[in-house]
Amino acid sequence: MGTDFDYSPWDFWSVASEEEQDRQHAVRGELNARPGHDVADGCFVSEKASVHNDELVLGPRTYVAAGVYTTGSVRAGRDCSINVYTVVRGRVEIGDAVRIGAHTSLLGFNHVMADPDVEVFRQPLTSKGIRIGDDVWIGSHVVVLDGVTVGDKAVLAAGAVVTRDVPSGAVVGGNPARVLKWRVPREQPGPARGGPAAFADAVRADAVPVLDRCFDGEFFVDRPGAARTIRAQCDAVEIADLLLGTAPPQLPADLQRHRLRDWQDPETGLIGTLGPDGTQTTAGPGFTDPDAGYHVLAVGYALDLLGSALPHRIRLLEADLPAELTALPWGDRAWHAGHWVDILGTALHRNGDGAEELFGWLLLNADPATGMWGAPSLPDGRLQIVNGFYRASRGTFAQFGIPLPYPERVIDTVLAHARDPRVIRPDRQNACNILDIAHPLWLTRHTGYRAAEAEALAATLLNDAVKHRVPGQGFGFHPSRTPPGLQGTEMWLATIWLLADLTGTADDLGYRPRGVHRPEPAPPRPARGMTIGAPVSGSGSTRHGSS
> Per residue in 159-204, pLDDT tens?
999 988 888 888 999 988 888 888 886 555 544 345 677 888 899 9
Interacting residues of 99 by C-beta distance below 8 A, sequence separation 6+: 80, 81, 83, 136, 137, 138
Task: Write the CA distances from 443 to 22, 158, 325, 456, integer angstroms.
Answer: 62, 32, 23, 16
- Residue 95: inside a domain: yes
Q: For all residues of the chain together, what is the average pLDDT?
A: 89
Q: What's the DSSP call for residue 425?
A: S
Q: Tell me the pLDDT tens digit for each residue of 474-511.
A: 999 999 999 999 999 999 999 999 999 999 999 889 99
> For 65-91, what is the mean pLDDT?
95
Which CATH number belongs to the domain containing residue 488 in this structure? 1.50.10
Q: Tell me the pLDDT tens digit for each residue of 333-360.
A: 999 999 999 999 999 999 988 899 999 9
The vertex-335 CA angle with 334 and 340, nearest 5°, equals: 100
- CA pair distance 243, 41, nearest whole angstrom: 59
Instruction: Report the chain's C-alpha Rg in angstroms.
Output: 28
- Prior bond of 176 cis (ω within 30°): yes
Active site (annotated) includes residue 336 = no
| Helix (H/G/I), strand (E/B), else coil: 364 | helix
Residue 20 has pLDDT above 80, yes or no: yes
- Residue 100: inside a domain: yes
- CA pair distance 321, 365, nearest whole angstrom: 14
Q: Quick one: pLDDT at residue 92?
A: 95
> For 281-306, what is the mean pLDDT?
85
- CA pair distance 375, 331, nearest whole angstrom: 6
Q: Quick one: pLDDT at residue 536?
A: 42
- Residue 521: inside a domain: no
Q: Quick one: pLDDT at residue 286?
A: 61
Residue 3 has pLDDT above 60, yes or no: no
Give 60: exposed, middle or buried? Use CB within 10 Å, 0-12, 13-18, 19+: middle
82 and 55 housed in the same domain = yes
Cβ neighbours of 140 (radius 10 Å): 16
> For 314-324, what is the mean pLDDT?
78
Last residue of a domain, one of 187, 211, 231: 187
119 and 242 housed in the same domain = no
> For 464-483, what is the mean pLDDT?
94
150 and 81 housed in the same domain = yes
449 and 469 housed in the same domain = yes
Residue 394 has pLDDT above 60, yes or no: yes
Total domains in the chain come to 2
Task: Write the CA distances from 87 to 6, 100, 366, integer angstroms.
Answer: 16, 10, 42
When pLDDT is cut at 50, 70 and 90, the band that residue 282 belongs to is confident
Q: Domain range spanning residue 226?
A: 195-509
Which CATH number belongs to the domain containing residue 42 in this structure? 2.160.10.10
Q: Tell me the pLDDT tens digit for each residue of 516-527.
A: 999 999 888 776
Residue 459 has pLDDT above 50, yes or no: yes
- Residue 115: inside a domain: yes
Q: With pLDDT > 70 as the criterion, what percentage of the chain qualifies? A: 92
- Residue 251: inside a domain: yes
Catalytic residue among 25, 111, 258, 446: 111
237 and 364 housed in the same domain = yes
Q: Tell me the pLDDT tens digit for each residue of 422-445.
A: 999 998 999 999 999 999 999 999
Q: What's the DSSP call for residue 283?
A: P
- CA pair distance 440, 459, nearest whole angstrom: 15
Q: Tell me the pLDDT tens digit for each residue of 501-514.
A: 999 999 889 999 99
- CA pair distance 386, 40, nearest whole angstrom: 46
Q: Which residues pair with 130 in a beta bridge?
A: 92
Q: What's the DSSP call for residue 184?
A: S
Contact 171, 183 (CB under 8 A): yes
Residue 208 has pLDDT above 80, yes or no: yes
Q: Are strands 87-94 and 130-132 parallel, antiparallel or unpaired?
A: parallel
419 and 283 housed in the same domain = yes
Short-list 283, 286, 344, 341, CA closest to 539 = 286
- Residue 13: inside a domain: yes
180 and 285 housed in the same domain = no
| Helix (H/G/I), strand (E/B), else coil: 116 | coil
Q: Quick one: pLDDT at residue 542?
A: 34
Q: What is the separation, in whole angstroms, between the first and last Cα of the chain?
A: 65
Last residue of a domain, one of 138, 157, 187: 187
Short-list 171, 100, 106, 175, CA closest to 144 = 106
151 and 128 housed in the same domain = yes
101 and 60 housed in the same domain = yes
Widest CA span of the chain, in angstroms? 96
Q: With pLDDT > 90 as the criterion, what percentage of the chain qualifies? A: 70
Q: Quick one: pLDDT at residue 1?
A: 41
Q: Quick one: pLDDT at residue 185?
A: 64
351 and 387 housed in the same domain = yes
- Residue 468: inside a domain: yes
Residue 316 has pLDDT above 90, yes or no: no
Judge if pTM exceeds 0.85.
no
Last residue of a domain, one of 125, 160, 187: 187
Three-state secondary structure readout of 365-405: HCCCCCCCCCCCECCCECHHHHHHHHHHHHHHHHHHCCCCC
Q: Tell me the pLDDT tens digit for each residue of 125-138.
A: 888 899 999 999 99
63 and 119 housed in the same domain = yes
205 and 182 housed in the same domain = no
Residue 541 has pLDDT above 50, yes or no: no
Contact 87, 108 (CB under 8 A): no
- Residue 218: inside a domain: yes
Residue 321 has pLDDT above 90, yes or no: no
